[in-house]
Homo-oligomer: A and B are copies of this chain.
């Protein structure tokens, strides 16, 4: 056993999917560019000045001083599930506590759904540009990615999806963001939502509905999510990150019936349980304060920032570009006529104008060319004067 023939360079063999994976140049560029002198439209960050720090602090203290088990491992906290049932009702979805599965944020929710639905090499349908975090979830499964287009005013191309299905494609899941699409900033119209659910039912294909932004709405009549039309095939994923604070790492899945036990198994494998302290503190915050009023405040402030951004684009870019008009969420998608490579624009923009954004091409699925003439702009994380100034600077660099 103590033989001393040590191999010269033992090779650490990693899983196959890791071959060729590396952090993108984009991420490295953005990390260098996060200084305080940069006006950033890049990340999907909520406005930190609106975090209810004092109120949440009060909620945590009330939990830690009165609930002996707040620091222990624990089962999902039922009063929090009840609050989520109320939130979902506000969102137009009828559900009960037993359909609410608590997760460490929406990202984990989607990661657990993938674990239950995907085999290695499974087919998955996404839009041609899609949330990079979901693409990262898919990567280890080496899936076959099929794409459908997106209309900036009405959302996912449901007709294209129907053509895929009628040609025989039966993907393991369709990924959809009905409200405040990331990166396109569009909300699907009602007819398309109904048609999409109808398709899923006809062909027995599950839908992962990523609703991380859907409780932030800018128009008077929000459209109900896909989950409101079907409770057997739609895995709805929600989160407290955008309506309360990301650092709490609490989200939820509204799961189809009969899948709770399987979700418990993959959740335990992933990280045992969702922080008991976070769960109880959020429930206490909702008991002690008015989450509804807080969401209303967030929506008003973000709507104002959205309007400032729309105005600035109109003023400084005008007919050189077209953009989505978000009714929900944190992002706007701007396509610039004659712009050849938004990634190169970013490098120049950081260097010359100290303005950051995400080039549309960063979201392209299958290395497609969509988005090379586009920018994804976040409008929740900067005050109106900086939004205006940032677009004014950006416009100088555009063709």
Contact = CB atoms under 8 A, between A and B. Distances in A.
Interface of A: 1-3, 5-7, 10-18, 21-23, 43, 45-46, 48, 51, 53-54, 56-57, 60-61, 64-65, 68-74, 104-105, 107-108, 111, 115-120, 122, 133, 136-137, 139-140, 158-159, 162, 172, 195, 198-206, 232-233, 241, 245-249, 256, 261-262, 264-266, 268-278
Nearest to A136: B269
Contact of A107 (B14, B70, B246, B270): B270
B261 A1 contact: no
A167 B69 CA distance: 50
Interface centre among A22, A69, A265 (most CB of B within 10 A): A265
Nearest to A61: B57
- Sorted nearest first, the 4 A-B pairs with minimum C-beta distance are A10-B204, A71-B245, A247-B276, A136-B269
B265 A136 contact: yes
Contact of A71 (B6, B206, B248): B248
Given A57-B65, A133-B272, A247 B73 contact: yes
Contact of A60 (B51, B60, B137, B139): B60
A69 B48 contact: yes
Nearest to A64: B57
Nearest to A22: B261
Given A256-B12, A275-B278, A2 B198 contact: yes
B104 A104 contact: yes
Contacts of A133: 268-269, 272
Given A61-B57, A162-B1, A249 B271 contact: yes
Contacts of A60: 57, 60-61, 64
Contacts of A18: 116, 262
Given A57-B64, A271-B107, A247 B202 contact: no
A23 B278 CA distance: 26
A313 to B, nearest CB: 26
Interface centre among A10, A16, A22, A107 (most CB of B within 10 A): A10
Given A133-B269, A233-B10, A64 B53 contact: yes
Contacts of A261: 22-23
18 contacts: A7-B201, A12-B256, A13-B204, A15-B115, A15-B117, A16-B119, A18-B116, A23-B261, A48-B71, A53-B64, A54-B65, A57-B61, A104-B104, A111-B271, A133-B272, A245-B277, A246-B272, A247-B276
A248 B233 contact: no
A248 B232 contact: no
B262 A275 contact: no
Contacts of A249: 104, 249, 271-275
A272 B139 contact: no
Contacts of A10: 200-201, 203-205, 232-233
Contacts of A200: 10
Nearest to A266: B140
A120 B117 contact: no
Contacts of A202: 3, 5-7
B245 A72 contact: yes
Nearest to A158: B1
A111 B43 CA distance: 27
Given A118-B15, A264-B23, A74 B247 contact: yes
Interface centre among A2, A64, A74 (most CB of B within 10 A): A64
Contact of A73 (B11, B22, B45, B204): B45
